[in-house]
Amino acid sequence: MHFSQNRWFRYVVVGICSSVVATGCIIHRGELSGPGYVRLEPSSYCPGDAMTASYDLLGTDVCPAGVDCAPFFPIVAIDSAPIAFPAQSITNYVGGVNFTAPDADQFTVTFNPDRDNVLIPTAETTPDGRVFLQRSSPDQIRSARRVSTVNQELVHGGMCAGSAPVNSAQPLPGLPQFSPNLRLTDLCNVNSVAVIVTLSGGPDGSSFMQTLSPGQCLASMPGVPSSTENARVVEVRPAVVDPGTRCTATGPSMPPPPLRTLARMQCR
Amino acid sequence: MNRIRSLYSIPLCSIALALTMTLGATFSAQAASASDLLRYYDKTTYSGALDVYVDLYAAPDKNGKVGAPQRYPAKLLFERPDRFRLVLRPGAKNEFRAVSEAGIVRWLDLATGFSGKEEADKVTDPLALALLGAAGELMRFSAAKDLPVSKGTKLSGARFDPKSYGSGVESGLAWFGSDGQPVGFEFNMTDRSRVFVAVMTFAQNVQTSPDDFKL
């Protein structure tokens, strides 16, 4: 048994440990299987989207005041295939390219630093000299694909807010993974129980509430305002509280089961 | 000659931050937004005890469908900057315990009898370690924004996008009840899997003893 490969442990710990406390001095080792130091957003794009390909080797650190970091900057070549933007070469710890989504069905962006590791000066010095951070900077490739429609199941986790059972609201697909130019075309109840959904978060500030039977979708119902296509958040609660749910302010509790909705979205 | 080191030794600085944080700050939870609440707990939490349910969801399939989660009831005791005791499935035959102190995680799996230890940064996401690290600096590491929920809802939510280098967390949501208590958190991982944490009880700034962080 090799403990370090137990991804579930890492995720449980990140879930719990991240829950209440916040952040501080960070720790990084090259072997951590994080997302790397690059981003390509959105990775599912609509025609004409504003996109960004960026890298960040600093994270939450900064170049200390009074220290010239420029001699330690990497040179990062950023290229795309098929060509979505002219090739770039950026000399810095942080950089990026803004461009318009290409007509291609998909494309890749390659980030190619001129070194395997970068050094970042810290404010700390010792009798031996300044202390540096070392971060690995392997080549990275990210791909993005064009979408016209998106079907995404939203999972609304169950919680106890004091003695009240509640299910989490969920943001509709958007940045950083999905295009910000998606509109909601339908929302379906994929649970085995009736639910009450509320759509909100649109620019007009309105909200819309509707009861949906199992399998029922909003698009099949009369009287749904067109403003719902601009909604950004889906709230949901069961029409009848699940009998296994037990939320008490003081005693042992069992949160309600998760509820699911299926969002259908389309490029504007 | 410059000495190069990993960031792992830096948590010393977080001790100082933890000691200087403001405990019990005056605060009106009812009037606060979710992102305000997130900042509040960040600044005022030195230690804590939680009973939670953790649901792990695999990445959606190609049709966007999400499978059933794996659920773990769990207890967590933590003390900043780097100590925690995590018990999964507490009381069950397959209880799993992990304790962390001074950068070392020790673990015991009652189901198999296996135990071991590992450096914390090899088994723990950088975000989790960072979150334990120090108080009052949430916004330096993670932008938080209130989720626009409808009026009259019993929950308020804040979305945050961690900036911890090397973290597998892409984004997260924090949920608070109308009394300002944290009731749930979720984390969207970069591999599209998802962690949902339902907080059943939360005690802030609890007394701990060194034995709490032994297996």
DSSP string spanning B110-161? TTT--EEEEEHHHHS-HHHHHHHH-SS-HHHHEEEEE--PPTT-SEEEEEEE
With beta carbons less than 8 A apart as the criterion, state whether A198 and B150 touch: yes
* pLDDT tens per residue across span B50-74: 888 988 899 998 888 899 998 888 8
A206 touches chain B (CB under 8 A): no
- Rounded Cα–Cα distance for residues A71 and A119 (Å): 10
Confidence of residue A261 (pLDDT cuts 50, 70, 90): very high
* pLDDT tens per residue across span A241-260: 999 999 987 777 899 999 99
What residues of chain A lie within 8 A of the CB of B17, using their CB?
24
CA A206 to the chain's CA centroid: 25
Query: Which fold, B29-207?
Result: outer membrane lipoprotein receptor (LolB), chain A (2.50.20)
Which tokens sit at A55? 């890298």
Instruction: Name the more confident of B54 and B18.
Output: B54
**Domain limits of chain B?**
29-207
What pLDDT score was predicted for residue B101?
82
Instruction: Name the more confident of A21 and A110.
Output: A110
Nearest in space to A170 (alpha carbons), one of A235, A262, A91: A235
- Rounded Cα–Cα distance for residues A119 and A242 (Å): 55
What pLDDT score was predicted for residue B215?
85
Q: Would you mind telling me the total number of residues written for chain B in this entry?
A: 215
* pLDDT tens per residue across span A15-72: 555 554 432 223 333 333 345 789 999 999 999 999 999 999 988 788 999 999 999 9
Q: Measured between CB atoms, which of A161, A201, A232 is closest to B177?
A: A161
What pLDDT score was predicted for residue B116?
85
- Rounded Cα–Cα distance for residues A21 and B140 (Å): 14
Q: Which of A1-15, A65-79, B115-129 has the lowest mean pLDDT?
A: A1-15
Q: Which of A3-7, B108-112, B116-120 has the lowest mean pLDDT?
A: A3-7
What residues of chain A lie within 8 A of the CB of B140, using their CB?
23, 60
Confidence of residue B88 (pLDDT cuts 50, 70, 90): confident
What pLDDT score was predicted for residue A27?
30
CB atoms within 10 A of CB B146: 15
CATH number belonging to domain A25-146? 2.60.40
Give the gap in angstroms from C-alpha A146 to the nearest C-alpha of chain B.
Answer: 15
Confidence of residue B132 (pLDDT cuts 50, 70, 90): low
* pLDDT tens per residue across span B138-177: 555 567 889 888 888 888 999 887 776 767 778 888 899 9
Is the Cα torsion angle A217, A256, B146, A35 positive or negative in sign? negative
A194 touches chain B (CB under 8 A): no
Looking at the predicted complex, does its ipTM rise above 0.95? no
Q: Measured between CB atoms, which of A9, A27, A160 is closest to B7?
A: A27
- Rounded Cα–Cα distance for residues A210 and B127 (Å): 38
Residues of chain A above pLDDT 90, percent: 65
Which tokens sit at A175? 């940045």
- Rounded Cα–Cα distance for residues B41 and B204 (Å): 9
Residue type, A92: N
What pLDDT score was predicted for residue A14?
54
* pLDDT tens per residue across span A128-150: 888 888 888 899 999 999 999 99
What residues of chain B lie within 8 A of the CB of A166, using their CB?
154-155, 177, 183
A46 touches chain B (CB under 8 A): no
A-B CB pairs within 8 A amount to 347
Question: Residue range B93-101: average pLDDT?
Answer: 87
Virtual CA dihedral for B39, B45, B48, B50, nearest 10 degrees?
-10
A14 to B155: CB separation less than 8 angstroms, yes or no: no
Which tokens sit at B184? 């749930």
With beta carbons less than 8 A apart as the criterion, state whether B164 and B126 touch: yes
Instruction: Name the more confident of A48 and B191.
Output: A48
Instruction: Name the more confident of B114 and A40.
Output: A40
Give the gap in angstroms from C-alpha B23 to the nearest C-alpha of chain A.
Answer: 13
- 3-class secondary structure per residue, A243-254: CCCECCCCCCCE
